Structure 1
């Protein structure tokens, strides 16, 4: 997604940027992400004069994930606001932006995809939940708490291995 300062400066009005980015490799190391749709960019670049450019808009993507508590499949739609300012600087002059107002770019063209990808990765939920009141998995049965109940709810709190049944009352005899 190459963006050119000169092209944006000479365009009549806002310069639209609508593309799809494949971001599946960015979440390959996440076991809880089972599928991801392409990241759709709906951005507008506007020249602010004096080598400044503003890029604003939204990024959208869909994620198929596993709930971090109950491991049931879920879908999450991400809608991310994108707002960055870029400034074209000469390579011989190092300008330092103390306020973080803009990103310095030394060429006439630059790739905006890494900035979109970074924002996407930052907005992928770290511990996704299928619902706010998800209770997770029962420790004894391994079932989802919202679907079934744990063995301990029937009054029998302990199941003893038959091989160790003889040791059950060992301490009570003394």
Structure 2
């Protein structure tokens, strides 16, 4: 994966002496949407980093918070939903040729490449885990009418539809024709004498 500049941090000035630390306070612009299907941090939005980079014996330990404004839609009524997401990162980026780098599979630990670490995947993972898979505009959102699609929160009280089960539709048609047929009886509804 080619690192994206906004998420790449240069750690040359940090050095490799264990205990050396630096703080990073930066606002980045997200090059693409970060999140889950229904809600996320939109592309072109600000992402705030408040991180501490600490040199440890096996690499650089990154801890801190990442936050941004979210936008999406309610999973029940499809109305717009916005908010803020704040995630906490704790990630170890292994030095090249360290014991951690040599003994750990490539997908189990992040690595420092050319004295730079790429936070992109860590941020994507953390934001995706923090956001709800089914966001709601309100906790009691009633959703949409299954028949006509109107938002039930905005519909008149008692909104509903008389729906006849298709298996009984033929019988309903028979009753409708009986109601339309004039009675063969006399004017008072009794048989003529």
Alignment TM-score, normalising by the size of structure 2: 0.64
Confirm or deny: 8 A CA contact 2:59 2:95 kept in the other structure: yes
Confirm or deny: 8 A CA contact 1:56 1:83 kept in the other structure: yes
Alignment TM-score, normalising by the size of structure 1: 0.70
- Local SS of the residue matching 1:120: helix
Shift of the 95–10 alpha-carbon distance from structure 1 to 2, 3 Å rule, reads closer
Q: CA RMSD in A?
A: 3.9
Shift of the 113–35 alpha-carbon distance from structure 1 to 2, 3 Å rule, reads closer
Task: Tell me the distance in 2 between the aligned counterparts of 1:72 and 1:34.
Answer: 17
Q: Which runs of 5+ in 1 are unaligned?
A: 160-164
Shift of the 78–8 alpha-carbon distance from structure 1 to 2, 3 Å rule, reads same
Match of 1:72 among 69, 76, 79: 79
Match of 1:162 in 2: none
- Local SS of the residue matching 2:13: helix
Task: Tell me the distance in 2 between the aligned counterparts of 1:129 and 1:172.
Answer: 43
Q: Cα distance, 1:88 vs. partner?
A: 0.5
Confirm or deny: 8 A CA contact 1:51 1:87 kept in the other structure: yes
Shift of the 29–62 alpha-carbon distance from structure 1 to 2, 3 Å rule, reads closer
